[in-house]
Amino acid sequence: MTDKQHIIIKGVKEGLVFLLDDKCEFATLLDELQYKLEKTHQQLLTGPLVHVHVKLGSRQLSDDDKDRIKSVIRSQGNLMVQSVESEALKVDLTQGDQPNLQVLTSIIRSGQTYEHDGDLLLIGDLNPGGTLMCTGDIYVLGALRGTAHAGIGGRTDVIIATSLMKPTQLRIADIISRPPEEWMTGDASMEFAFLSEGRMQIDKLAQLFRIRHNPIMFKGV
């Protein structure tokens, strides 16, 4: 067997790191691991106890297969396996049921309307007389002083969030905001609007996790 590079062994302060190719066949990986330890990396098997950390890349293994890797390494004298880890699974937020996020860097001025199917992030201000409309959430990284309508397709679980909440009107689905004096807080900074029990509510943006992780709060909208 040739010394292929499906496995890279690196020395680190804590001991050794085994970097295993996540694309090749698992059987090939085991064969090469055993070959390297017995034939080409014999210098690792002398001296004091060495701690080994095994990195699997994106390869996901059962506990049984992890034990097979550990068994090969542990059979070699002074090597002690400390961990066998895979990278965390990456989730592509642009696929599946995730809404389409549109990032818009602009100022929406009086008389201008911007409409989007999905979530909308405006980096800039929404001026009085300007309008944002989308089927999902609306996020304004700036001042919201015009009209914002989220959930235009009927969704009631969406929000309108902004750095500065000073709207002419807010609307989620078919619910229109009450007069500002009824729900505006003192400083109007970093807030979001949402529906609860069929009414428009405003809270500090730091409390958004309560809505996203407790969907029961949307009950009755």
Rounded to whole angstroms, the Cα distance separating 78 from 187 reads 64
pLDDT, tens digit, for every residue of 156-184? 999 999 999 999 999 999 999 865 555 55
Q: Based on the domain organization, do 111 and 193 belong to the same domain? A: yes
Question: 25 Cβ partners below 8 Å, 6+ apart?
Answer: none
pLDDT, tens digit, for every residue of 119-160? 999 999 999 999 999 999 999 999 999 999 999 999 999 999
Classify residue 1: in a domain, yes or no: no
Structure token digits, residue 203:
């809270």
Domain count, the chain: 2
Whichever domain contains 167, its CATH number is 2.160.20.70
| Domain membership of residue 129 as a residue range | 101-218
Q: Based on the domain organization, do 168 and 207 belong to the same domain? A: yes
Vertex 137: Cα angle to 131 and 141 (nearest 5)? 65
Q: Based on the domain organization, do 29 and 74 belong to the same domain? A: yes
Instruction: Kindly state the average pLDDT of the residues 24-53.
Output: 83
Spatial contact of 72 and 34, defined as CB atoms under 8 Å apart = yes
Q: Based on the domain organization, do 70 and 117 belong to the same domain? A: no
Helix (H) / strand (E) containing 214: none
